[in-house]
Amino acid sequence: MMVSVRIVFCLCCGALSAALDLKWRTQNQGPDQPQVQQPAAVLQKKQFLHEPLSWRYPEPPAEEEPQYPADFEPKAPTPADSVRAVCGENSVRVEAKKDLLGIGNHVLAADITLGGCPAMGEDPEEQVLVFESELHGCGSQLLMSEDSFIYAFELLYTPSPLGDSQIIRTRSVTVGIRCHYQRKHDVSSGLLKPTSSPFSATKASEDSLYFSIKLLTDDWQASRLSSVFLLGDMMKFEVSVKQFHHVPLRVSVDSCTATVLPNIDTVPRYVFLGNGGCLFDSQLTGSSSQFLPRTQDDRLQFEVEAFRFQQDDSGVIYITCSVRAIAAAAAVDATNKACSFSNGWREASGSHRFCSCCDSDCGTGSQSHLTGTGAPWEQETAVGPITVKERPLQ
């Protein structure tokens, strides 16, 4: 008990002594003495969160929409146009470009067959694989319609893996090939003849000479995938002749007739080209139809403004042309020409004087077969059905 009293007393004495010392210093401090600033009492306060924290990842910046010119149009893919078929009376010949997919890479010959039949040869100059088959061979199927026999073939491409890997960089392709033949009551008479196939047709003459007619794209660079046009469009055609083991040839178009059925003898019909190569349409209707200037002897291009037959709501037309080929060394003349009318008749090769007969009669020319430099080969080729629709007002 005594010990506790001493401790309290000493603590009180210490505090009293400190207070007296402070008072004495304050009263006896001169003016030159520095003032002693006592620190203020420090108050501490706890911080409280009155609102909960809220944070999230910032939103990614919005992607800017690409800006294209007002007249920008995406470039349409160019069709490969790599397979050609020619239907003969008893067989079919198929040519497939080694660049089958049109991407600059050649396929392996072993990867492509005609219904399981390998290529019989190769044209190194044209870079094509050649297949030939009897109509009943190479996995063909015989189909029949009311007026036609149809032999159906398939050209099959199955890519092999690259090297020792299990990868491929091309895709499998199946190309359907159809040969149409008109049905005859007397099938033993040997009168079965190939007829035009839908949209594009190619027919063979003797001695491995092949004519074709096809629709081209607006830039004249490839076959047109669609056969639908609007009134006011220009239908662009290319007639060609492919020759094997022949002297160079020049192709021309004697006549072209449009019909609503795939038969040139039906009505209504419109002969817009005739008289041995005179394109009448521009003269008769004031259209822009014309031959293009000739750049190759074995190809001839022309364009015809799209049209429909009056009182025919379908807008479907077939165009059948009589095409002719003569030796390229033969001169252009009144029966082998390509004339368009635009403020007068103009010839595609520049020999305009031979167009003067287009307003009268240019003659029929020789119909003999390969007897001399000027003797022609001639075939009918067809394209269709082509559909011409009315252009919408808005």
- Give me the pLDDT at residue 382, please: 87
Average pLDDT (43-60) is 63
> Which pLDDT value is given to residue 268?
87
Alpha carbon distance 321, 255 (integer Å): 5
* Spatial separation of the C-alpha atoms in residues 325 and 336, rounded to whole Å: 9
What's the pLDDT score for residue 369?
Answer: 37
Return the minimum-mean-pLDDT range out of 47-56, 159-168, 185-194, 327-336.
185-194
Query: 30 vs 370, which has greater pLDDT?
Result: 30
Which CATH architecture best describes the domain 196-394? Sandwich (2.60)
pLDDT at res. 242: 79
pLDDT of residue 70 exceeding 80, the answer is no
Q: What confidence tens digit (pLDDT) does each residue in 140-160 have?
A: 888 877 677 788 899 988 887
How far is residue 381's CA from residue 200's CA, in Å, rounded to a whole number? 9
pLDDT of 26 reads: 55
Write b or e for each residue in 250-288: b if 16 or more Cβ atoms lie within 10 A of its Cβ, otherwise e: bbbbbbbbbbbebebeeeebbebbbbbbbbbbbbeeebe
What's the topology of domain 80-195? Answer: Immunoglobulin-like (2.60.40)
8-state DSSP, 244? S
pLDDT at 49 over 70: no
Confidence band, pLDDT 50/70/90 cuts, at residue 51? low
Q: What is the pLDDT of residues 267-318, one digit of tens each?
A: 888 999 999 999 999 888 888 899 999 999 999 999 999 988 887 888 899 9
Q: What percent of the chain has pLDDT over 90?
A: 23
Q: What mean pLDDT comes out for the span 315-329?
A: 89
- pLDDT for 100 equals 83
Find out whether 188 and 357 touch, Cβ atoms under 8 Å: no
Domain span(s) for CATH 2.60.40.3210 in the chain: 80-195
Q: Which of 54-63, 208-217, 249-258, 281-290 has the lowest mean pLDDT?
A: 54-63
Average pLDDT of every residue of the chain: 75
Q: Is the pLDDT of residue 339 over 60?
A: yes
pLDDT at 8: 45
Confidence bin at 373 (pLDDT 50/70/90): very low
pLDDT tens per residue across span 157-210: 888 776 665 545 566 788 888 888 876 533 333 333 333 333 333 333 334 567
pLDDT at 363: 78
| Domain limits, CATH 2.60.40.4100, in the chain | 196-394
Contact criterion met (CB below 8 Å) for 280 and 338: no
**Pick the residue with more confidence: 56 or 261?**
261
What is the structure's pLDDT at 195? 39
What is the predicted pLDDT for the residue at 237? 96
pLDDT at 188: 32
Which ranges of the chain does DSSP label H, i.e. alpha helix? 2-27, 281-285
pTM of the model: 0.50
3-state helix, strand, coil in the chain (%, to 5): 10, 35, 55
Across 251-260, 262-271, 384-393, which has the greatest mean pLDDT?
A: 251-260
- Cα–Cα distance, 167 to 87 (Å, whole number): 37
